[in-house]
């Protein structure tokens, strides 16, 4: 099979995305059509997220009331530690899969795409293995400063395998490229389902934090296995034997600048998520696990904005990458981006108003009266998340244009400007200091991203 043979079994989303004109040149439809596809993809994933959100609220209601602020804080800190190490060391490849895969898809290059997928999987799995080892090794140095109990300390090295729950971007990127956002939506149900079942079992048996950590670990491993299973199934269905035995070729020759692109895009992802992951650890270090537990509950309330924003960025990236691969100008990209961001921000306004009016009631509903002190910081965090809705689509646009380093620099500058201030803000303003830091960083980072994407697309 040669690389010039068209990809088989194109799905309906890909077919709807393009059509041939009389001279054979691929064309796309108007910006309104692109926006509809982006939000259709968002809707498919949010369908799964809605179910996942209900189950997540269920295990949050149970876990917070059963454990209380301090023990729940320990659970949160162990998980935050592992995800932070993972975020710094892992090497996800989904952005490269979508960007370069869109070119291979456009030209019907089956073997090029197969080589790209195999390359992405090897790089990502190697990074995941290094992250697991690093998380294990650092436990004795970090745990005592975060107030972990002896049982949590003993289990934390094993919990390092929860890193694998995040090592799944290669199959996720391929599903985005194929337009199978329905499968991504179904996958969103895996982790909360296992966590909810585990929470019910732990509470019924009267066990403690260690057992909660074990249930969370099982959820992460299930998340890892399910995504790779879906990705392999789709690859086998669409690429056939080429995914197992692609024709000889070098990925770096097929995809010019792929290493530079991956390094920049991974640095951007790491820096973009760094503050959200590090903040609970800094709070636990400065103020103890109980305050970290309060912050975690307040942060959980922002998921209603944070998760759709990230999904919207991912869905936008797949469409924007196809626009760029098709050779269309910055004007088409900017029109699509403006519509996507505008709709997202308008949709967030009711959420911000509800949280601002009923913060205490929301916190008590989510976690009980013991967590009532988290209501103030929750308002600030939700406001920061509303501002941050601008970021994921802008980052996706810069990456689709081949300039992930520009998004990286925006996140780098904002992180280095505000994250070092967090300990002082906590000491001065208490837990609200974390909210002040979040709002300030969101304004600066997303303002920079908006300016950069406008200037880049204009060229």
Mean pLDDT of 427-448: 93
Alpha helices in 90-109 (DSSP H): 94-107
Does residue 130 register a pLDDT over 90? yes
In this structure, the number of other CB atoms found within 10 A of the CB of residue 254 comes to: 19
Does residue 282 register a pLDDT over 60? yes
Q: What pLDDT is stored for residue 4 in this prediction?
A: 38
Does residue 312 register a pLDDT over 80? no
Confidence of residue 133 (pLDDT cuts 50, 70, 90): very high
Cα separation, 445 vs 277, whole angstroms: 16
Cα separation, 309 vs 391, whole angstroms: 8
Confidence of residue 306 (pLDDT cuts 50, 70, 90): low
Mean pLDDT of 267-295: 87
Mean pLDDT of 343-370: 86
* Neighbouring-strand partners of residue 303: none
Average pLDDT, the chain: 83
Q: SS3 of 20, please?
A: strand
* Neighbouring-strand partners of residue 20: 26
Cα separation, 278 vs 282, whole angstroms: 6
Does residue 7 register a pLDDT over 80? no
Mean pLDDT of 304-324: 63
**pLDDT tens digits for 65-105?**
999 999 999 999 999 999 999 888 888 888 889 888 888 88
Question: Residue 195 is encoded by which pair of tokens?
Answer: 């966590």
Q: What pLDDT is stored for residue 288 in this prediction?
A: 93
Q: What pLDDT is stored for residue 26 in this prediction?
A: 38
**pLDDT tens digits for 22-65?**
333 334 455 556 666 666 665 655 556 667 777 888 898 899 99
Does residue 429 register a pLDDT over 90? yes
- 5 vs 328 pLDDT, higher one: 328
Question: Residue 249 is encoded by which pair of tokens?
Answer: 């070729």
Confidence of residue 281 (pLDDT cuts 50, 70, 90): very high
In this structure, the number of other CB atoms found within 10 A of the CB of residue 53 comes to: 16
Q: What pLDDT is stored for residue 62 in this prediction?
A: 93
For the whole model, what pTM was predicted? 0.78
- With residues binned 3-state (H G I as helix, E B as strand, rest as coil), the percentages for the chain, rounded to 5, are 85, 0, 15
Q: What pLDDT is stored for residue 35 in this prediction?
A: 63
Q: What pLDDT is stored for residue 92 in this prediction?
A: 86
- 341 vs 173 pLDDT, higher one: 173
Cα separation, 353 vs 34, whole angstroms: 30
- 339 vs 296 pLDDT, higher one: 296
């Amino acid at each position: 099979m040669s690389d010039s043979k068209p990809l088989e079994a194109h799905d309906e989303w890909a077919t709807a995305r393009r059509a041939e004109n009389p001279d054979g040149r691929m064309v796309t439809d108007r910006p309104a059509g692109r926006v509809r596809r982006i939000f259709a993809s968002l809707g498919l994933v949010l369908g799964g997220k809605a179910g996942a959100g209900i189950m997540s609220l269920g295990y949050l209601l149970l876990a917070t009331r059963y454990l209380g602020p301090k023990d729940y804080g320990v659970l949160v800190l162990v998980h935050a530690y592992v995800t932070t190490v993972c975020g710094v060391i892992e090497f996800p490849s989904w952005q490269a899969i979508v960007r370069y895969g869109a070119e291979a898809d456009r030209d019907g290059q089956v073997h090029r795409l197969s080589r790209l997928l195999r390359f992405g999987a090897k790089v990502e799995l190697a990074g995941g293995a290094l992250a697991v080892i690093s998380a294990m090794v650092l436990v004795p140095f970090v745990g005592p400063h975060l107030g972990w109990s002896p049982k949590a300390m003993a289990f934390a090295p094993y919990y390092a395998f929860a890193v694998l729950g995040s090592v799944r971007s290669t199959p996720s990127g391929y599903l985005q490229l194929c337009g199978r956002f329905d499968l991504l939506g179904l996958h969103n149900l895996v982790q909360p389902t296992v966590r909810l079942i585990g929470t019910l079992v732990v509470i019924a048996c009267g066990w403690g934090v260690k057992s909660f950590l074990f249930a969370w670990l099982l959820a992460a491993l299930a998340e890892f296995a399910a995504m790779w299973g879906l990705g392999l199934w789709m690859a086998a269905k669409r690429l056939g034997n080429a995914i197992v035995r692609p024709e000889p070729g070098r990925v770096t020759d097929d995809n010019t600048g792929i290493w530079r692109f991956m390094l920049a895009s991974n640095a951007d992802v790491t820096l973009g998520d760094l503050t959200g992951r590090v903040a609970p650890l800094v709070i636990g270090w400065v103020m103890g696990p109980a305050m970290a537990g309060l912050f975690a509950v307040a942060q959980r309330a922002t998921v209603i904005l944070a998760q759709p924003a990230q999904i919207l960025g991912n869905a936008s990236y797949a469409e924007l990458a196809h626009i760029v691969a098709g050779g269309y100008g910055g004007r088409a990209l900017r029109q699509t981006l403006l519509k996507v961001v505008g709709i997202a921000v308008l949709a967030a306004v009711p959420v911000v108003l509800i949280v601002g009016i009923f913060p205490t009631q929301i916190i008590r509903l989510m976690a009980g009266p013991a967590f009532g002190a988290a209501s103030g910081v929750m308002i600030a965090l939700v406001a920061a998340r509303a501002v941050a809705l601008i970021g994921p689509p802008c980052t996706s646009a810069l990456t689709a244009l081949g300039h992930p380093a520009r998004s990286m620099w925006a996140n780098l500058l904002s992180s280095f400007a505000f994250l070092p201030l967090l300990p002082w803000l906590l000491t001065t303003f208490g837990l609200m200091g974390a909210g002040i830091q979040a709002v300030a960083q969101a304004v600066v980072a997303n303002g920079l991203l908006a300016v950069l994407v406008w200037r880049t697309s204009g060229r």
